[in-house]
Amino acid sequence: MRTMKAVNIYKYGGPDVLVYEDAPRPHPGEGEVLVRVHAAGINPVDWKIREGHLKEMLKHTFPLVLGWDVSGVVEVLGPGVKRFKVGDEIFSRPDISRDGAYAEYIVIRESEMALKPKTLDHIHAAALPLAGLTAWQTLFDAGGLSAGQRVLIHGAAGGVGHLAVQLAKWKGAHVIGTASEKNHDFLRKLGVDQVIVYQTVRFEEAVQPVDVVLDTMGGEVQTRSWKVLRRGGILVSIASPPSAEDAAAHGARQAFVFTQPNAAQLVEIAQLADEEKLKAIVETILPLSDATRGQELSQRAHTRGKIVLRVV
């Protein structure tokens, strides 16, 4: 088989630049694995790349396959691969500078993969890697969140947010989350200690000082968040780099996280999923051919949990 179905873009632009078509099937090189994609998660970074917002950082070439959240089965081993065998079920957040997973096949470096959670199907496994690693790296690597601390998570019902809530609770933190009224009960069931309905309450007037803020929104939400940080606390953003000057003015720290592949962390995330301590919520499942609709839904920013493309 020399071709596969894939969703390519040939230029930056709106959802209309996504093209579902036949494309050459890739081949694994040294230390790489060819994976038969069973499911691919959709994330905001996909449409941000499609619109060209990260073109200076990532230097992609066209045509480009989007999507860097994947669950599938190892089909071919490249030279030197030692940790996996043909038939292994894996999940991954692969290198975002290379072709992604909106396709029937993807080549992934062995160092970017882990065995998928045994208790999850491919749909739910594909919802975990990118958002799960983002939550892990913001809360723990950058934020240093520990038991007994207080964390405010903006967009707590979203793709990253709902996993960050569960990881923070697993760590033993007191969790506060902002969300819409419709997600109030959902977040309570996930274990959020205080839900702030942003339509009716200004969070900075309702939240006692916290040790960590996880900012998924940027803009004025990020600016207002300095008011709820205790001195020495940290604002970690995945939306836009926080101001070092604002941090200093509030006696706080700041960090910006752009998620990186990390197989060791994926192993821990898989274990938590199998122990039922971490659950990926999938709100919408679409066929690969409907990737355009999936990105449109993601761009509206009102999804609870994740959107996933079913490939097999």
Kindly tell me if the per-residue pLDDT of 143 is higher than 90: yes
Task: Summarize pLDDT for 224-242 with one digit per residue, the tens.
Answer: 999 999 999 999 999 999 9
Instruction: Provide the residue count of the chain.
Output: 312
What pLDDT sits at residue 185?
Answer: 95
Q: Supply the DSSP symbol for 171.
A: H
Token reading at 48: 């941000």
Q: How confident is the model at residue 176 (pLDDT cuts 50, 70, 90)?
A: very high
Mean pLDDT calculated for residue range 277-302: 94
Nearest to 95 by CA among 135, 118, 64, 120: 64
What pLDDT sits at residue 72?
Answer: 98
Q: What number of other Cβ atoms are within 10 A of residue 144's Cβ?
A: 14
Kindly tell me if the per-residue pLDDT of 292 is higher than 80: yes
H/E element, 132: helix 129-136
Q: Which amino acid is at 260?
A: Q
What pLDDT sits at residue 238?
Answer: 97
Task: Summarize pLDDT for 194-232 with one digit per residue, the tens.
Answer: 999 999 999 999 999 999 999 999 999 999 999 999 999
Write down the mean pLDDT value for the chain: 97
Kindly tell me if the per-residue pLDDT of 62 is higher than 80: yes
Q: Write phi, then psi, for 282 (nearest 5 degrees).
A: -110, 115
Nearest to 91 by CA among 306, 302, 270: 270
Kindly tell me if the per-residue pLDDT of 301 is higher than 90: no
Nearest to 213 by CA among 294, 126, 119, 145: 145
Task: Summarize pLDDT for 27-57 with one digit per residue, the tens.
Answer: 999 999 999 999 999 999 999 999 999 999 9
| Distance between CA atoms of residues 45 and 175, nearest Å | 25
Kindly tell me if the per-residue pLDDT of 303 is higher than 90: no
Strand partners, 175: 151
Question: What's the number of CA atoms in the CB half-sphere (13 Å) around residue 96?
Answer: 22
What pLDDT sits at residue 120?
Answer: 98
% of residues, the chain, pLDDT over 90: 97
